[in-house]
Structure 1
Amino acid sequence: MADAEPSAYGAETFAEGHWYHELLEDGLALSYRVEEVLYQGTSKFQEVEVVRTVPFGSLLITDGLMQSSEHDEYVYHESLAHPALVAHANPKRVFIGGGGEGATLREVLRHESVEECVMVDIDGDVVNMCREHTPFYSAGAYGDKRTRLIIGDAKEGLANEPDGSFDVIIMDLSDPLDGGPCYQLYTTDFYRLLSKKLAPGGIFVTQSGCASVRDAHHVFSPIHHTLTQVFPKVYGYTMCVPSFTSEWGFNLAVNDTSIDLSGVDADETLKKRGLEMKFYDTVSHRRMFALPKPLRTLIDNEKRVMTVENPLFMCSTDTHAGIFDQES
């Protein structure tokens, strides 16, 4: 490969044979061979790209960070949405913060009991771009009459809703990055607001970043410990998402301590609701919630609390600048 200067969005043309390099950290990068650039632009909030790659199909990339891939997005989105939705006896109102691709919305609306799903994403350009260039994510969910899409700040959008009004709240946000738009939505201040919006028996779930034994200390365990400052019962769970090249973390929290989510019989509920998943079932659920010893130890020993005044970041957005490079 030819040498390339580290420029996040510097190349002007992208011929067949180019590679996209995602800089994960100093000395470590992930490279994808790019077949076609489907979209490249700048919204008010971030750089946005959609590229078709050899190993994972179309990738959605924001600020140089790969957000999801066509070939395995169902693993992430089913893992995020369904443990909470299946655990709730009758989810009627659901709130999604973020989720601009529309895939989390798609999964929520598969449950016929849902009467309304309020989705608030700050970047309308990303929503519109995904509807045009990656329609497989939303699969028509934006046109469902149960969808109420709001382009705006998720915290403000949630604050405007009545207390006790949501059965399930899902935060499908970008990682908490220094300079990114989402870090305040991983703090005690936001979680206290969110807790008030849950109906009795309500369930909250958030994506929580890398959760491998090597990386879980960055934000997975701090998010878990931060949630324990607000909720009486918190679960951490993980699943391997191939295109993320990592075990990925989620945290789920409830106000009702009688709820036990670790041993949910997902198959029985899915059958009753007429749902068949590509990935999620009872065995997958129990595997997700069976954390390995290093993560359990990490959670038990975690002392950091994420606040607006003292946030924690996965990394700087500058660290993850994407680079296009032409094959020599």
Structure 2
Amino acid sequence: MLGWRVPRKLPPRQWCLHFLVMQNGLSASSPFTKWAGKTKLSTYSEIGPLLCSVCCNLCSSMLSFLCAALMVLYVPLPPEDHFSEFELIPEEDNYQNPPTGNDQQQHAEWFEEQLEADLKWSFALNGVLHAATSEFQDIVLLDTKRFGKALVIDGKLQSAERDEFIYHECLVHPALLLHDNPKTIFIMGGGEGSTARESLKHKDVEKVIMCDIDRMVVDFCREHLTENQEAFRDDKLHIVFNDAKDELEKTEEKFDVIVGDLPDPIEGGPCNDLYTKPFYEQVIKPHLKDNGIFVTQAGLAGILSHKDIFTSIYNTIKHVFKYVIAYTAHVPSYADSCGWVLASDEPLKLDVEQLNSRIQERIRGDLLYLDGASIVSSTVVNKMICTSLLKETQVLTGENVRFVYGHGLTKNAEE
């Protein structure tokens, strides 16, 4: 509902519209009121005599209605600049219900993420639960009104409590379900623990290594993200604090699935080299078993955002692996679709019945978002994105990197 505020210096025609609405209970959005407000008449009548006439003849509600309507019809439309004085405001902000001090404070607390130079995404907060700066990045845990707890790193939303299952199910389960028998998983990043949680739902998984560069992120999420505490206590989970590239290079172990759960590449960010062809070719591929699968998050993949990094990550991985699949899903807290890229040197069979069968046989508990059909359908992207994927020519290298908007702590430290 909207209430009406009428300034003292209101043009005649608008004053009459207000009178019509307030005295006769006519909705501001009713067809008649909208029509009356738009009518342009060539004659001009003084409002004073009309008002006097109306006031003298308000004998009944019907007569009052008719007189008010006549006033609207016979007062000409004022210049356009007068309309700036005529406001529609929320009913709770009307004079009868002024906001309290607490309400004003709550309304002023918003998280705001700069998506582009000319675009911001914001939502209301209950408060800030934790804020810190580690050796590598700025970390904030927010309590949001709509999305629950939200983890923000370097000003970028990483995940939100009420819809993170979409992102993490899509990141983990297609790769593990397409693999015939995944036993060992290596997670690059994933410090909040959600990727490990989804991986450990697979009954046959024997070992999950989560390698995150930032101990502060892991320790805080272990303490405060209650939905992941069981995963953090699981004996199958091995946590390593190191750069993922360094950790893989110093081990001879090979894995069934390697998962890239890293922040987007941003100028000065700590993970940029982990999205390049040399890294995929020289580090990832040698540490996969013969039938191994690699999957990585690949940034936003909406109509207006898919060319930022999604298409270039896809094209880069296509230059390293024989079989590559790009897929997407909408994540409400991102205000956009997210993209992932999955790859292997062995054929990848997308079969709904087989996927559903493996979900029933392998996974402990229920998935909230995915089933066989939704996994297959997520690989079908619209014509615009499909065309962009096919036409993308950029291959990411150490000297040729594409960034999303923003910059990380490393850049600040260097300056």
TM-score, length basis structure 1 = 0.89
Q: Which runs of 5+ in 2 are unaligned?
A: 1-104, 409-415
Give the equivalent residue in structure 2 for 1:273: 362
Higher strand share: 1
Partner of 2:203: 112
The answer (yes or no) to whether the contact 2:115–2:405 under 8 Å persists in 1 is: no
1:222 to 294, 297, 312: 312
Change in CA separation of 1:264 and 1:232 when aligned onto 2, cut-off 3 Å: farther
Q: Does 2:268 match 1:179?
A: yes
Q: Which has the larger radius of gyration?
A: 2
Q: Report the AA paired with residue 127 of structure 1.
A: V
- Residue in structure 2 matching 1:209, options 299, 305, 312: 299
Matched residues in 1 for 2:337 and 2:203: separation?
30
1:1-328 equivalent positions in 2, closer than 5 A: 17-136=108-227, 138-162=228-252, 165-192=254-281, 193-256=283-346, 258-261=347-350, 265-275=354-364, 276-317=366-407
SS at match of 2:182: coil
Map Cα deviations across residues 17-69 of structure 1 (whole Å, 9 max, x no partner).
Answer: 41111111122111111102110111111111111111101110111111100
SS at match of 1:117: strand
- Provide the residue aligned with 1:6 in structure 2: none
Deviation at 1:274, TM superposition (A): 4.5
Structure 1 alignment gaps of length 5 or more: 1-13, 319-328
How many Å apart are 1:260 and its aligned residue? 2.3
User: Are the aligned partners of 1:87 and 1:264 in contact in 2 as well (CA < 8 Å)?
Assistant: no
Q: Look up the match of 1:4.
A: none
> Per-residue deviation at 1:121?
0.3
Quick check: 166-175 or 265-274, which moved more? 265-274
Which whole-Å CA distance do the structure 2 matches of 1:274 and 1:102 have between them? 18
| Separation of aligned partners in 2, 1:158 and 1:274 | 27
Deviating runs (4+, > 4 A) in structure 1?
14-17
Q: CA RMSD in A?
A: 1.6
Greater share of helix:
2
- Once the two structures are TM-superposed, the CA of residue 264 in structure 1 deviates from its matched residue by 6.9
Q: Secondary structure at the match of 1:156?
A: helix
Matched position secondary structure for 1:234: strand
Letter in 2 for 1:101: E
| C-alpha contact (below 8 Å) 1:94/1:167 kept by paired residues | yes
**1:286 Cα offset (Å):** 1.6
Aligned length: 302
Identity of aligned residues (%): 39
**Counterpart amino acid of residue 73 in structure 1:** E
Give the Cα–Cα distance (whole angstroms) in 1 for the partners of residues 267 and 319 of structure 2: 23
